[in-house]
Structure 1
Amino acid sequence: MNLLPLPDRAGSETFGRCLAELVELCRVHLPVRTAEAPEDEEEQRIVLRRALGYLDHTCPDLPEPFFDPLVRAAVHDPDPSFNRQFVEPLCAAFGARRTQEALLGILATGTNPERAGAARAWYWATLETFDDLDDRWNRAALHEFVTNEDLDVRRCVLPGLTLDPAEYPTELHPLVAEAVRIARTHPDDYLRHRVELQVADPDD
């Protein structure tokens, strides 16, 4: 079965502000690595990739003022691939655990666009894994998928959601079954397609 890509979403003014904030931080704290950036979003992305070392894997030590803006940029980036350019410097400078804890907090308390963005960023943040945080994420994501009817949240949460009941305590098994039912019967093509990949018999 071919994998359907996560459906595109529009950018937002919030993401534009995130980029501008990061460019300004780089100008202040990393002036040698930062060129003048125009207003164009793609050009700002290029400037930030260079300044944050994403292009050459030479992530500089970043001071504390970068943490929250990088989290916001990772969460509000509409592209589930490009958000990596913010997640990797976060993990390199501040640690994967702190980054994952921040995303967990957003999944629990953020707006729906922020929760969806946290789920997209989680993929890149978990290149280094922690059993306790994985368990917390799985439980929170399972609850979010079942109870939150926002389509983008469900689309973004599902790819990283463990749907094996054996990975959960017995009392959560009905919630896993409900998540599978919702995805399989949902009118959205992406959810119906994706769930079959995640619950497919490994012997098929």
Structure 2
Amino acid sequence: MDEVRFERYDRYERSLVDVLNALNLTAPLTPSGDERNDPRARRHWQCSVALMIMREAVPPQPEELFEPLMLAAVYEPDPSHTQRHIRPALAVFGRRRVQTRLLEYLRTGTDYEIIGAADAWYCTYLRVTGGDTGDDPCTDLRHAFQETGLRIFLANDHPGVRGRLITLLNLRAEENPPELRQLVSDVLRTVFPS
């Protein structure tokens, strides 16, 4: 396992522990010794904790959960598991707040955080039942994501960042507002140089 993956695992595990602490739950023993270097052992622990969090009832004053849940979503190493953190965040805090925070990660984060925020953004369109926050479509934030994603794609040549963003961007010029059409053209020229 490379150092970048270990760094993401470390940050992800710290955010999971913060969520557990906010919920007054006890974390299972973390892998130690040789197991600490075994990606499967670490992922098993991470998935166990993420499932504990999903099953736990949200406390009456959940404010202290917001940032740890968002960090867990951004640092989740497996994009297919990101919804384990986004679902409870959407149910408690609503789509607008969750998407606004993810846009901040996109705009100011490291390459790894940008990739994680893009993975999490994809999950913010899940329908969540049982939440008190309503189902705001956040059209203005979709527009902000499109513009931010296009600009990041053009400014950041990290293949992981570009690869993740390109799957989420609408590259049909006619479906974009006039002020974004030049950015779409620039992205298309980058992807398909003549």
- Whether TM exceeds 0.5 here: the answer is yes
Structure 1, gaps ≥5 residues long? 1-8, 29-33, 186-204
> Which amino acid is 1:72 matched to?
L
1:195 corresponds to which residue?
none
Could you tell me the TM-score, scaled by structure 1's length?
A: 0.73
Counterpart-to-counterpart distance in 1, 2:50 and 2:182: 45
Counterpart-to-counterpart distance in 1, 2:179 and 2:97: 29
1:21 corresponds to which residue?
18
Matched, 1:75 2:66: no
1:150-198 Cα offsets, whole Å, 9 max, x none, are 111111111111111123232432221221222235xxxxxxxxxxxxx
Structure 1 outlier segments of 4+, above 6 Å: none
**Distance change in 2, residues 1:50/1:16 (3 Å):** closer
1:37 corresponds to which residue?
28
Write the mapping of 1:34-73 to structure 2, written as runs, cut at 5 A: 34=25, 36-40=27-31, 41=42, 42-53=44-55, 60-61=58-59, 63-73=62-72
Counterpart-to-counterpart distance in 1, 2:111 and 2:180: 23
Matched, 1:180 2:171: no
Residue aligned with 1:160, SS: coil
Could you tell me the TM-score, scaled by structure 2's length?
A: 0.77
1:62-103 Cα offsets, whole Å, 9 max, x none, are 611110001011001121111110011100111111001100
Q: Normalized per residue, which structure has more helix?
A: 2
- The Cα shift of 1:24 comes to 2.5
2:131 corresponds to which residue?
none
Number of positions where the alignment pairs a residue of Structure 1 with one of Structure 2? 167
Counterpart-to-counterpart distance in 2, 1:138 and 1:105: 14
- Of all paired residues, the percent bearing the same amino acid is 32
Counterpart-to-counterpart distance in 1, 2:170 and 2:77: 23
2:130 corresponds to which residue?
none
1:25-84 Cα offsets, whole Å, 9 max, x none, are 23x2xxxxx46512043234323313332xxxx753461111000101100112111111
Aligned-residue CA RMSD (Å) = 2.1
2:38 corresponds to which residue?
none
Structure 2, gaps ≥5 residues long? 32-41, 127-134
